[in-house]
């Protein structure tokens, strides 16, 4: 973290900043609480700690500092979050510095490309309203799009000529920036070097244009539908190429408009094409996104995870759509999403279904979405003749990769059992194949709460979650280094180790998701940081438990040696036990002294 960021963090009041987004109420000496803005709830589980300046939701598990909150709520990167917090606190921003001339040039290029795409969008919107745009308007009306929907999605029309947009933007940027925008094509003239210096002409011609926006609503690319047949007008849909602004596998169409509804309703509806998405959104289903005709990517999964981990897939029923659905299901499942699938009656795509049967029928279809495992099993039954042994083998082989990808063992086992039953597999060999597939990927469910910890464990966590330069942190981490065996018997050993080794990192960032809630619970409950006396009591208790465990082990070994008649080993063990007794007496005395000091 830069010096400026550290300064802003120290001056920022996290309660005031978060209070601008949600209503917070006092909930203790150091805590404020409210309804979590990151998931739907009726009872407040979102807490903010005044002294330690962090937040944590005990409902969905999100946590972080003031910058992390702004990043998540505004959906921006760290730099932008830092700028927002500084502005809220009235702190002047330093002049932006770049690491290299290349980085500065790239930033300037992105800014100019955003401006060009905005100007292109306005141009296409104007052309849709022109006389030449009459045919495009007729087509859109025939597809059921109302003027307000066309305006909301900024649908436009690219005229037939080769230079309409080029002439409009010719004075807005130099030729090299226009080429980099992806809005133009160019053809090398005879005698010219093949270096991209040919004359520019419009990429989109005689096409309806659908702007593609980033999360913030800025246009970064276009999909354009031809009004002519493929023989005359080229491919039915033509997309912007990869540019410094746009990478197809990293963008979700309509996320800028749907993200709030996705967060509030805690699910996202995935469709294939832009028209499917627009029709469904206009009909009233707000949390809908389009993958632009491709299977889901890891980058898109990470993007969507910021808003929800529950997805309903409704791809086209044709072969390409089914294949894309399978790939998307596989990736989303592996990434930990809860996936359900909708198959519409009559083999209709979402756009046509909504137009022909209405939004109520579509809403009912969404309610009937099935688990992705049920969808895949049914698809395996359709693809392979399970009446024959070979068909059953092929069906199982179709399902095995999906079973392996499921992150939790219990869910994998349930999938395997359902598949065996519905495919009519009686063969012990095939059932064993399913069980092995369910076992090949290890998974565990871990639930630990602060209430389940001993007082000793609570104190150790709080001490190691403190400032690394504090006396209690130093003492606790030194004890872990010098007496590591004393800590290894604790169920939270891994959490303590992660906190002790974090150096300057925030404690909630140093531990895994499963432990984050535990640490947050303890920190939210503390009225004051751990005192040196509390820590010494905890370490003394830890030492006592370690010696007592060794005593129990020694007693067991003595009994075994006596049964074997090994008198020499019995003597050694008795000597060791006596030493342990002396150690325990000293520890008891130390504990009494600490209690008297309390």
Summary count for the chain: helices (H), strands (E): 27, 16
Q: Which long-range contacts (CB under 8 A, 24 or more apart) does 66-72 make?
A: 66/9, 66/12, 66/14, 66/17, 66/18, 67/5, 67/9, 69/14, 69/17, 69/18, 69/21, 70/17, 72/38, 72/306
Per-residue model confidence as pLDDT tens digits over 202-246: 999 999 999 999 887 899 999 999 998 766 768 888 999 989 899
CB 289 within 8 A of CB 261: no
Q: Which residue has the tokens 């005359």?
A: 232
CB 56 within 8 A of CB 62: yes
Half-sphere exposure (CA, 13 Å, Cβ side) for 138?
6
Answer yes or no: do 593 and 454 share one domain: yes
In angstroms and rounded to an integer, the radius of gyration of the C-alpha atoms of the chain is: 32
Answer yes or no: do 290 and 357 share one domain: yes
Of 511, 494, 521, 505, nearest in space to 466 by CA: 505
Select from 41, 64, 88 the last residue of a domain.
88
Answer yes or no: do 196 and 132 share one domain: yes
**CATH number of the domain to which 148 belongs:** 3.90.980.10
Answer yes or no: do 227 and 118 share one domain: yes
Higher pLDDT, 352 or 513: 352
53-62, 353-362, 436-445: least confident range:
436-445
**CATH number of the domain to which 314 belongs:** 3.40.1360.10
Higher pLDDT, 8 or 192: 8
Looking at the domain assignment, is residue 203 inside a domain? yes
CB 569 within 8 A of CB 533: no
Return the percent helix, strand and coil in the chain, to nearest 5: 55, 10, 35
Q: Which residue has the tokens 């805590």?
A: 31
Answer yes or no: do 476 and 380 share one domain: no
d(CA 67, CA 77): 9
pTM value is 0.60
d(CA 258, CA 289): 7
Answer yes or no: do 465 and 591 share one domain: yes
Looking at the domain assignment, is residue 95 inside a domain? no
Q: How many residues does the chain have?
A: 598
Of 286, 263, 337, nearest in space to 36 by CA: 263
Answer yes or no: do 322 and 340 share one domain: yes
Element (H, E) at 326: helix 319-334
Strand, coil or helix: what is 304?
helix
pLDDT bucket at 548, cuts 50 / 70 / 90:
confident
Answer yes or no: do 242 and 285 share one domain: no
Answer yes or no: do 289 and 402 share one domain: no
**What is the model's pLDDT at position 96?**
65
User: What residues form DSSP beta bridges with 56?
Assistant: 47, 63
Looking at the domain assignment, is residue 14 inside a domain? yes
Looking at the domain assignment, is residue 273 inside a domain? yes
Per-residue model confidence as pLDDT tens digits over 299-350: 888 888 877 889 999 988 777 778 888 888 888 888 889 999 999 988 889 9
Average pLDDT, the chain: 84
Looking at the domain assignment, is residue 359 inside a domain? yes
Answer yes or no: do 427 and 492 share one domain: no
Enter the DSSP assignment of 529: P
Looking at the domain assignment, is residue 476 inside a domain? yes
Answer yes or no: do 454 and 592 share one domain: yes
**What is the model's pLDDT at position 267?**
92
Looking at the domain assignment, is residue 268 inside a domain? yes
**What is the model's pLDDT at position 388?**
64
Domain total in the chain: 5
Select from 186, 219, 246 the last residue of a domain.
246
Task: Indicate left, alpha or beta for 358 from its phi (over 0: left) and psi (-120 to 50: alpha).
Answer: left
Answer yes or no: do 138 and 237 share one domain: yes
d(CA 325, CA 419): 19
CB 476 within 8 A of CB 529: no
d(CA 2, CA 22): 28
The 3-class SS string of 268-286 reads EEEECCHHHHHHHHHCCCC
DSSP string, 50-73: TTTTEEEETTT--EE-HHHHHHHH
**What tokens does 411 get?**
């869910």
Enter the DSSP assignment of 450: G
Residue 435 belongs to domain spanning: 376-439
Of 363, 278, 377, nearest in space to 326 by CA: 377
Per-residue model confidence as pLDDT tens digits over 371-387: 999 999 998 888 887 77
**CATH number of the domain to which 430 belongs:** 1.20.50
Of 552, 561, 551, 534, nearest in space to 464 by CA: 534
């Amino acid at each position: 973290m830069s010096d400026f960021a550290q300064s802003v963090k120290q001056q920022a009041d996290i309660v005031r900043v978060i209070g601008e987004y949600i209503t917070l109420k006092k909930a203790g000496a150091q805590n404020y609480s409210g309804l979590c803005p990151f998931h739907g709830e009726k009872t407040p589980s979102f807490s903010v700690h005044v002294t330690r300046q962090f937040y944590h939701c005990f409902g969905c598990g999100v946590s972080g500092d003031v910058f992390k909150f702004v990043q998540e709520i505004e959906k921006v990167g760290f730099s932008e979050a830092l700028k927002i917090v500084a502005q809220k606190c009235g702190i002047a921003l330093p002049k932006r510095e770049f690491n290299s001339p290349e980085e500065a040039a790239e930033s300037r290029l992105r800014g100019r490309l955003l401006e060009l795409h905005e100007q292109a969008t306005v141009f296409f919107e104007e052309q849709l309203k022109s006389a030449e745009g009459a045919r495009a308007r007729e087509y859109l009306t025939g597809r059921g799009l109302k003027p307000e929907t066309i305006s909301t999605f900024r649908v436009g029309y690219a005229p037939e000529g080769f230079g309409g947009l080029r002439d409009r933007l010719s004075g807005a940027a130099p030729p090299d920036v226009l080429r980099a925008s992806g809005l133009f094509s160019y053809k090398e003239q005879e005698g010219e070097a093949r270096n991209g210096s040919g004359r520019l002409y419009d990429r989109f011609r005689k096409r309806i244009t659908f702007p593609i926006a980033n999360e913030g609503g800025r246009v970064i690319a276009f999909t354009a539908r031809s009004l002519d047949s493929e023989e005359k007008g080229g491919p039915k849909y033509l997309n912007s190429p990869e540019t410094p602004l746009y990478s197809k596998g990293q963008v979700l169409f309509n996320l800028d408009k749907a993200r709030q509804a996705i967060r509030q309703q805690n699910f996202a509806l995935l469709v294939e094409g832009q028209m499917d998405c627009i029709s469904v959104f206009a009909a009233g289903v707000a949390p809908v996104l389009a993958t632009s005709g491709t299977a889901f990517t890891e980058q898109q999964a990470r993007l969507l995870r910021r808003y929800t981990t529950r997805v309903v897939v409704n791809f086209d029923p044709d072969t390409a759509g089914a294949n894309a659905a399978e790939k998307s299901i596989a990736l989303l499942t592996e990434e930990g999403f809860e996936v359900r699938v909708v198959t519409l009656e009559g083999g209709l795509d979402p756009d046509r279904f909504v137009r022909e049967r209405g939004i109520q029928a579509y809403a009912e279809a969404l309610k009937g979405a099935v688990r992705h495992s049920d969808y895949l099993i049914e698809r395996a039954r359709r693809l392979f003749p399970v009446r024959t042994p070979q068909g059953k083998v092929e069906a199982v082989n179709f399902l095995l990769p999906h079973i392996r990808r499921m992150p939790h063992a219990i869910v994998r086992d349930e999938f395997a059992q359902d598949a065996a039953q519905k495919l009519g597999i009686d063969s012990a060999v095939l059932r064993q194949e399913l069980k092995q597939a369910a076992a090949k990927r290890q998974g565990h469910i871990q639930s630990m709460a602060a209430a389940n910890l001993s007082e000793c464990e609570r104190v150790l966590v709080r001490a190691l979650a403190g400032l690394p330069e504090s006396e209690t942190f130093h003492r606790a981490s030194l004890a872990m280094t010098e007496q590591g065996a004393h800590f290894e018997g604790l169920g939270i050993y891994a959490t303590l180790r992660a906190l002790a080794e974090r150096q300057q990192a925030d404690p909630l960032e140093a531990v895994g998701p499963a432990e984050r809630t535990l640490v947050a619970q303890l920190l939210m409950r503390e009225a004051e940081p751990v005192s040196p006396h509390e820590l010494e009591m905890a370490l003394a208790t830890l030492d006592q438990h370690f010696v007592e465990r060794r005593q129990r082990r020694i007693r067991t070994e003595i009994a075994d040696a006596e049964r074997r008649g090994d008198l020499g080993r019995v003597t050694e063990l008795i000597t060791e036990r006596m030493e342990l007794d002396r150690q325990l007496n000293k520890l008891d005395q130390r504990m009494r002294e600490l209690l008297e000091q309390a």
